[in-house]
Homo-oligomer: A and B are copies of this chain.
Amino acid sequence: MKKVTINSVATYAGVSKKTVSRVLNNEPNVSPATREKVLKVFKELDYTPNPIARGLARNRSFIIGCLYDNPSKSYITRVQSGALEACHKHNYNLLIHPCELRGEALIENIEHLLTTSRLDGMVLTPPFSDSEELIAFLKKKNIHFARVASAIDDAESISVRSNDEQGAYEITEHLINLGHTSIAFIKGHPDHSATEQRFTGYQRALAEHNIAFKSHLVAEGNFSYHSGADSAKAILDLNPRPSAVFASNDYMAAAVLKLATQRQLKVPEDISIAGFDNAPIARHIWPGLTTIAQPVEEMTRQAVEQLILQISDEQTPVYQATLEAKLITRESTAKPSC
């Protein structure tokens, strides 16, 4: 079975390959008759154009790379889903590249990626969207990129984020309004800018409601379920025990819930628990977790869409947006019983 190229089609149809190319790309200035003829040969020969050759000629791969390093599988799939939506809309495809921020050599890793696969652009998700080093490297290499949920201020590059600080403020305020005054907090991974932002929101809510911040109520997590379990132990062992726990994401909140349940504590009667992200697990467990829903898909979709616009037209103004996070109230939070 011989390969069918544009040349075979051209010969077979009795036209030049440029004309075949015109038909392929729906260019004008092809007579209807010729177009028909060529299209018929496409069918007959079962011709599929070679995207690589096209890519070489146009200096495009039509592939976007997606960088992430995140323990949350639901976050990753939401990112992928938003990115794919934008990609497919513009006939791009998505190549995934999970890697470690603190790996021995992030830059070398990315350099190798670019050697093995030409990418027209890259979407950076946390913590990469906050890596000054990586951003400098991409700029130097003239690689287009878009930042998702990045805290870095850089007017030159595309950025779509959500308001983490405000979300954390609102959920903390929600607990305060219920009557909680002793609210523990579990921090996220220190490499993620969201960690600091959520912590700030928590502190601001306390301050604005005249509740003294107590550092012994703060546990250091890293967004993983496991770290949540460790933090849960430390918090539930406190005496007096806080009446509420706000974990920086739902997995850690789920870990608190699990340990509380194991210890025969009733949630939310004995202790209220709040999370962040509105991951699927938040509604897959009982009681469902009060949390903050972030438009992860939408952030990524917008970021990739703008990235593709920028690739197609360098003149596109740099897009920067902040989307709203939204409080979702479920059964895991209530008035303190005492």
List A residues at the B interface (Cβ < 8 Å): 1, 48-53, 55-56, 61-63, 73-74, 76-77, 80-81, 84, 91-98, 111, 113-118, 141-142, 225, 251, 254-255, 257-258, 261-262, 280-281, 284-286
Contact = CB atoms under 8 A, between A and B. Distances in A.
A93 B113 contact: yes
A84 B1 CA distance: 31
A96 B94 contact: yes
Contact of A96 (B80, B92, B116, B141): B80
Given A52-B61, A62-B116, 19 more contacts: A48-B115, A49-B115, A50-B118, A51-B116, A52-B55, A63-B117, A73-B280, A91-B116, A93-B97, A95-B95, A95-B96, A96-B96, A251-B284, A257-B286, A258-B285, A258-B286, A262-B286, A284-B285, A285-B285
A203 B89 CA distance: 46
Contacts of A115: 48-49, 51
A118 B114 CA distance: 17
Nearest to A61: B52
28 contacts: A1-B142, A48-B111, A48-B141, A49-B115, A51-B115, A51-B116, A52-B56, A52-B61, A53-B56, A56-B56, A63-B117, A73-B74, A76-B77, A77-B77, A80-B98, A93-B95, A93-B113, A93-B117, A94-B96, A225-B284, A254-B284, A254-B285, A255-B284, A257-B286, A258-B285, A261-B286, A262-B286, A281-B281
Nearest to A255: B284
Contacts of A258: 284-286
A77 B50 CA distance: 30
B116 A92 contact: yes
Contacts of A286: 257-258, 261-262
A62 B74 CA distance: 28
Contacts of A117: 51, 62-63, 93
Contacts of A74: 73
Interface centre among A1, A96, A113, A281 (most CB of B within 10 A): A96
A281 B254 CA distance: 10
Contacts of A73: 73-74, 76-77, 280
A113 B94 CA distance: 11
The 3 residue pairs across chains A and B that have the minimum distance between CB atoms? A73-B77, A258-B286, A261-B286
